[in-house]
DNA sequence: GCCAACGTTGGC
DNA sequence: GCCAACGTTGGC
């Protein structure tokens, strides 16, 4: 079982949106590193849902992977903002997973707090200039964060 | 809104 | 295959 952090801008898709939908495809990833991480995801992996580009960047909830990587059909939809000419149903370039809502944190774990926590040193999210939208967590970091949530 | 960091593109 | 130019991300 692996642990992942996935970033979303709350204006586009928030933890409340996921809560309402119960489960949702994670489409629109157009970065090779992030795509490759999604291909590594397994059923039941835990996802830390992170709000980025907002007032208080923070981990705001938990989700789990409930469908493993499959082609992202928005990539060949000409009307989609995620359209990519080089991706086709026969030769898909981009993939997505489905995730399922687990919980919304009563108190988000803010980026600021995490940056000040020595236990989390080495966590890629906290490195300066880290822009990757999907980031793996070590077991140690993941379990530490989960413990902090309760 | 600024800008540093990073990824991608394309000319050579 | 190098690298400059450009676009995007995301914290501040």
Predicted local distance difference test score (pLDDT) of residue A42: 97
Of A133, A142, A118, the C-alpha closest to A50 is: A133
A124 C-beta less than 7 Å away from strand C: no
Query: Which nucleotides of chain C are near protein (any atom < 7 Å from a CB)?
Result: 8-12
C10 nearest neighbour residue (CA to C1')? A53
pLDDT tens digits, residue range A24-69?
Answer: 999 999 999 999 999 999 999 999 999 999 999 999 999 999 999 9
> What is the CA A86 to C1' B11 distance in angstroms?
21
A33 C-beta less than 7 Å away from strand B: yes
Instruction: Give, for A97, the enclosing helix (H) or strand (E).
Output: strand A95-110
Domain residue limits, chain A: 3-149
Of A25, A42, A34, A39, the C-alpha closest to A5 is: A34
In terms of CATH architecture, what is A3-149?
A: Roll (3.10)
């Amino acid at each position: 079982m692996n642990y992942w952090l996935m970033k979303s801008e709350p204006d586009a898709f928030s933890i409340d949106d996921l809560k309402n939908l119960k489960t949702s495809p994670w489409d629109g990833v157009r970065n090779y590193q992030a795509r490759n991480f999604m291909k590594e995801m397994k059923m039941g992996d835990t996802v830390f849902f992170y709000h980025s580009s907002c007032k208080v960047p923070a981990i705001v909830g938990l989700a789990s992977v409930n469908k493993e990587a499959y082609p992202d059909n928005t990539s060949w939809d000409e009307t989609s903002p995620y359209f990519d000419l080089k991706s086709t149903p026969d030769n898909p370039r981009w993939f997505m997973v489905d995730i399922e809502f687990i919980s919304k944190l009563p108190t988000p774990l803010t980026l600021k707090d995490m940056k000040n926590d020595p236990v989390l040193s080495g966590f890629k999210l906290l490195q300066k200039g880290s822009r990757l939208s999907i980031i793996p967590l070590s077991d140690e970091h993941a379990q530490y964060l989960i413990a902090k949530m309760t």
